[in-house]
A and B are shown apart, each in its own frame.
Chain A
Amino acid sequence: MKTISKAFALTALALSVAACSNIERSRNLANPRVSGSTLAQQVCASCHGGAVGQDNGTSINPSYPNLAGQQAVYLETELQEFHDHSRTDPAAKDMMWGLASQLTTAQMKQLAEFYAQQKPHPNLNQNDPALVASGQKIFSEGRAAQGVPACATCHGPSAEGNGPIPRLAGQHADYLYKQLMVFNTDAGRETHSEALERPHGVAMDAISHNLSDLEKHQVAAYLQSLR
């Protein structure tokens, strides 16, 4: 009886202490005073990778993209698209719309810079060597006959990205393939440019339509294998 009374008293004490919460460890998504790096570690890390076992921004589950070393301009653009609900692919709606809905411009900038500064790591997922070899050819040479330019032209020779053009090296193949399928989506659109699920990815629209399903898998596998 006494023990449990003490336990309750201790819990009550802990709860009252909690009233003075620490802004450095907050998971509040609607408080502009919480810094981007705090949000990255307290919220984003639970899917996109935290400090232990994987550095910040290197995710374990391929559902969630790696963010480490990603281009800051690209990250900020995407956060803005989640924030204003202009990126409309299902995963973005399900996972990111709510999380980004009340972030301030400053917080989004801080988050983008935080992840751009993290060191990217080699992707540990298994690759099929045959897919990788074919993917490399598409990446560096394109498919001229199909109207597909070399990915390296825009994404850089090492797929490191450039400003608004994302880094793809070491990204999860599953995520890359699914995003190619997002660019490939025609549902509800009368023209290609109208209501693209990722409005800033309009350059990928024709390319993804011109790549076959197998080619999408090949190029995704190659990009995943890049360090």
Chain B
Amino acid sequence: MTRGKHALLFMAGALSLAYLPTSHAVPLYARQTGQACVSCHLGGMYPQLTTYGRFFKLTGYTLGNRPNLNDLEVQKDAPPVSIWLQGAKQFYTNVPNGSGAAPTSSLNVQAVSLFAGGKITDNIGAFLQWTGANAGGGFNSAIDNSELRYADHLVKPDSDLIYGFYINNHPTVSDVWNSTANWSGNFMGFFNGGTAPVQTPFLDNYAPGDAMGAGAYLYKNNTWYGEVGAYKSVTHGPTTTYFTAGDSGATLIDPSPYYRLAYTKDIGPHSFEIGLHGMISYAHNPTAASGGVSDWGGTVNTFRDTGIDGQYQYNLAPHYFSAHVRYLHENASYAADQVGSTVSNASNILNETYLDVSYVYRAKYGAMLVYRAASGSNDATLYSTNTASGSPDWKSWTPEIFWTPWQNVRLGYQYIFYTQMAGETGTIPGQTLSPHDFNTSMLYASFIY
């Protein structure tokens, strides 16, 4: 690209920033309701939802106006799409861990997401995300968090019931309390996590597209929430291009159930949630290669994940505060043919602890602290980083500060530091590394329209 083109692009970017509306209307949901980000996101801290934001999602993204796509000019409507750009400069301290090269500190466009969805009918709405992510040196695009909902809201003089159904592309996409894996934290992941060997329960590891699920939920009297769903990987047909087994490294051929129960209560500006959630994942191993081709119809490893989760929010301008907690217990049992090859034990346990607190002043100046840790049974094959103990245990802290000059622009700095890795606080046996060698920080800018 010539220098002139660069200048032109920069000017176009600067102009588009200059003409951004400072109040209502950013991405597609804001355009649908005409409301500002803070209406649905606590202090504007997406993805954290307010009570009203939860209502919006539980009623199937149907509140508001559907853009009239046939006659955009007359209706002054925008098409129901949005774009999210994230750029970052990441700083690594870590070095090669066994295989793989050390990530280089780089300045780059980290992720580009396209969103579509919103209100389709009075009862049907969608959240569809497609993300191109710059991970590990390559730029890959794939379907991201996506769901389609049908919902209804029955109001009687003495009762209130929201119920609905959804189809989505991995467990916990349906979460509205930001206390399960998919929507917790600040949503500004490091685009290259480096080679830190962090172990998390199976339920946390589902990537979008790993498994398609269908579920039903109800929310009674703004108090009791119940949800059941079942997930299965897409193994045949043209859509396997888009929905393929990803991070979990296994395929759900049998339906795997997901459930959630929660009790909620709002008192003045305070909002509370406490609940249980869990999933039993029947993860099939690949078959032995036949004619050079292996398939996903092999033996089954079963992961039973049971979690307790909670949320507290304070939502009263100019102060916004939230805290989330999750404790997830995993009981994994492995198929006989795996023992001695991919794992040492016939069964393992892994317990995850997640905590976060965040505060935003005037929906502009914020800080967040995340504590995340896991501990479990030692397994010399599965957790081979530590050649002496085979321990999976790790602990990390992630402080972050951010500034939101406009509601759709966020600038931030976050730093993840590890106080324990592979069961060790010092040098890990079999490695030349200590936990702090995996520390990473990132300066990021996020823009969404």
Q: Is B214 an interface residue (CB 8 A)?
A: yes
User: Interface extent on B, as a size class?
Assistant: 35 or more
Per-residue 0/1 for B59-92: is the Cβ within 8 Å of any A Cβ (1 yes, 0 no)?
Answer: 1001111100000000000000000000000000
Q: Is A28 an interface residue (CB 8 A)?
A: yes
By the criterion CB–CB under 8 Å, are B64 and A29 in contact? yes
- Chain B interface SS verdict (over half): mixed
In Å, the complex CA distance between A174 and B30 comes to 26
Per-residue 0/1 for B11-36: is the Cβ within 8 Å of any A Cβ (1 yes, 0 no)?
Answer: 00000000000011100001001111
By the criterion CB–CB under 8 Å, are B52 and A94 in contact? no
By the criterion CB–CB under 8 Å, are A19 and B35 in contact? no
Min Cβ gap B7→A in Å is: 34
Q: Is B123 an interface residue (CB 8 A)?
A: yes
By the criterion CB–CB under 8 Å, are A125 and B232 in contact? no
Q: Is B156 an interface residue (CB 8 A)?
A: yes
Min Cβ gap B244→A in Å is: 17
- Chain A interface SS verdict (over half): helix
Q: Is A130 an interface residue (CB 8 A)?
A: no
A-B contact count (CB 8 A): 148
Per-residue 0/1 for A1-40: is the Cβ within 8 Å of any B Cβ (1 yes, 0 no)?
Answer: 1011001101100110011011101111110000000000
In Å, the complex CA distance between A227 and B214 comes to 48
Q: Is A60 an interface residue (CB 8 A)?
A: yes
In Å, the complex CA distance between A99 and B39 comes to 11
In Å, the complex CA distance between A10 and B230 comes to 13
A and B contact pairs by CB, cutoff 8 A, 18 listed? A22-B122, A29-B34, A29-B63, A41-B155, A42-B63, A42-B153, A46-B55, A62-B268, A94-B24, A94-B35, A95-B39, A97-B24, A98-B24, A98-B35, A99-B35, A124-B268, A174-B316, A178-B317
Spell out A's residues near B (CB within 8 Å): 1, 3-4, 7-8, 10-11, 14-15, 18-19, 21-23, 25-30, 41-43, 45-47, 50-53, 60-63, 90-91, 93-95, 97-99, 101-102, 124-125, 174, 178
Spell out B's residues near A (CB within 8 Å): 23-25, 30, 33-36, 38-39, 51-52, 55-56, 59, 62-66, 119, 121-124, 148, 150, 152-160, 165-167, 214, 221-223, 230, 232, 253-255, 266-269, 271, 315-317
